[in-house]
Structure 1
Amino acid sequence: MANGCIIALMVIVVVLNVFAAAAGLALFALAIWVAVDPYKLYPIAAISGKDDIFAAAWIAIFTGFAYFCTAIFGIYATLKKKRSLILTYLILMFIIFIFECASCITAVTNRDYLVGNSNLVKSQMLMYYADKSDRGMQITNTWNKVMLDAQCCGTDSPLDWVEYNSTFMQMYGTSYPWPLSCCQRQSSFDPADPTGCKLGQNSAIFSKGCFTYIQSMLNRYTWSVSWYGFSVQMFVFFLLLIAIVYFIFLE
């Protein structure tokens, strides 16, 4: 009877580790996607000093791959029925579990600081856009890409460039009230109506703000790292409980 229970537990632990390995690989892939920053929003987070979402992604890259490797080792240890191997497996999984908890918590708590309201993003835009420093060039390139990709202008609206003092206004305010990236484009990506854009005609300028787009993309990063990470953690916690029972039953 006892031997039958051990065999049943062994099969369950092996199957759960197969799923854990797959979940670890998926976490690894998602974390790489966030770290690569396909929407190129890292400069906005970095300027504020709150780039913890990307730090969490690097931790998740490690933990995802570590879960995969350790789960494979767990399958080997389970089939060997050696308490020393199972104990090593449990210790390794517990260490990885702690690191992944840190990754999830870091990502979800940092999100609110960046996307809680538009004032932080707006102040960065006004200060650094068109500035000739390294930070200024990074922010300028980021905002040009965001405004063209999302077909938006400014943080809340194009009026951000007019109602607030900014580096762009000081340098180009007499020529253009807002950047040319705010202008609607032809298929060749040239401004469709530069004069109308300069005058603020709705048919020639992107009239919506970019904050909703930035908020949405940063939320995607956060959910990928934190909420999927939390779901993996819940599964691993259940796996560890079963593995501990299996360890206890082994002679």
Structure 2
Amino acid sequence: MGLSCGARTLKFSLFIFNLVFLICGFVCLCIGTWLILDKYAVDNLAAATAKVKCYENDDGLRDLATKPAAVRQIGYLLLFGGIIVIIVAFLGCCGAAKEWRPLLCCYGTCLMIILATEIAAAIYASLHSHVFEKDFREILHASLKMYNGTDTLVTKDSDDILVKTAWDKIMMEKQCCGVDSKLGEFNESGWFSLMQKRFQFPPACCPLKKNGKLQASCPTIQRYGTVSLNYI
């Protein structure tokens, strides 16, 4: 006995739906493999993007290219994520096309496991959000110690320069200051020592001058009062 019109429509929809995800899975797999094997992948992508109109001044990819460890982590995430998507979508495609109950049961079981994992992760995150915020706040405070505060400082450790650049960009764009905008936050930073402890806050903590440039110093009473943790 043949399938009814509604059943055939459902079968076709399930097949197309999973076929799309199967293709997306292979795309993620290929991109992940590319990022892992080609250490210049993001550099090439940034160069190509810079030629596209409206993206000439987008520094996001160029910044990412300076962090090879992060690029490899993204590559592994895409690789394993793509494999999982391919397996689940393959079960759905074959199960719908062949109308084979065992495959459809495996497909449904995989979806239930994924859904249960997402629900469990959401519940865990909501119950422990204060712990995550506390840990993240500690990480941010630790990064402030690496804030060297000058572009002219000659150093072999480029991490300090990257941290300074990242913090300056966040504070200027979001008009915030440090982690909590409190006195003493920068006291353990390289910048505080370079300034011979004359200032409490770096220039990026204060509004720009009329010409769009940073002030020479940032008076305490003029600093941004917004907490940067709200924007990160």
TM range, normalised to the smaller chain?
A: 0.5 to 0.7
Q: Distance in 2 between matches of 1:157 and 1:170?
A: 19
Q: Which has the higher helix share?
A: 1
Match of 2:230 among 208, 212, 226: 212
Query: Measured at CA, do residues 66 and 165 of structure 1 come closer, stay the same or move farther in structure 2, by a change above 3 Å?
Result: closer
Query: Measured at CA, do residues 15 and 156 of structure 1 come closer, stay the same or move farther in structure 2, by a change above 3 Å?
Result: same
Q: Distance in 1 between matches of 2:8 and 2:138?
A: 53
Query: Measured at CA, do residues 101 and 75 of structure 1 come closer, stay the same or move farther in structure 2, by a change above 3 Å?
Result: same
- The aligned amino acid for 2:220 is G
Q: Does 1:200 align with 2:220?
A: yes
Report deviation, 1:77.
5.2
Secondary structure of 2:160's counterpart equals helix
Report deviation, 1:181.
1.4
Q: Which residue in the other structure is 2:174 paired with?
A: 150
Answer whether contact 2:94 2:103 (CA < 8 A) is retained. no
Q: Distance in 2 between matches of 1:98 and 1:38?
A: 35
Q: Which residue in the other structure is 1:179 paired with?
A: 202
Query: Measured at CA, do residues 140 and 100 of structure 1 come closer, stay the same or move farther in structure 2, by a change above 3 Å?
Result: farther
Answer whether contact 1:10 1:79 (CA < 8 A) is retained. no
Answer whether contact 2:176 2:225 (CA < 8 A) is retained. yes
Secondary structure of 2:161's counterpart equals helix
More RCO (CA 8 Å, sep 6+): 1
- Structure 2 stretches lacking a partner, 5+ long: 32-41, 43-58, 150-154
Secondary structure of 1:143's counterpart equals helix
Report deviation, 1:185.
1.5
Name the TM-score, length of structure 1 as normaliser: 0.50
Match of 2:13 among 15, 20, 24: 15
Query: Measured at CA, do residues 78 and 23 of structure 1 come closer, stay the same or move farther in structure 2, by a change above 3 Å?
Result: closer
Secondary structure of 2:212's counterpart equals coil
Secondary structure of 2:188's counterpart equals coil
Query: Measured at CA, do residues 145 and 61 of structure 1 come closer, stay the same or move farther in structure 2, by a change above 3 Å?
Result: farther
Q: Distance in 2 between matches of 1:111 and 1:56?
A: 24
Query: Measured at CA, do residues 153 and 59 of structure 1 come closer, stay the same or move farther in structure 2, by a change above 3 Å?
Result: same
Q: Does 1:4 align with 2:3?
A: yes
Q: Distance in 2 between matches of 1:69 and 1:187?
A: 57
Q: Distance in 2 between matches of 1:21 and 1:68?
A: 9
Query: Measured at CA, do residues 38 and 9 of structure 1 come closer, stay the same or move farther in structure 2, by a change above 3 Å?
Result: farther
Q: Percent identity?
A: 17
Query: Measured at CA, do residues 95 and 188 of structure 1 come closer, stay the same or move farther in structure 2, by a change above 3 Å?
Result: farther
Secondary structure of 1:152's counterpart equals coil
Match of 1:127 among 123, 145, 153: 145
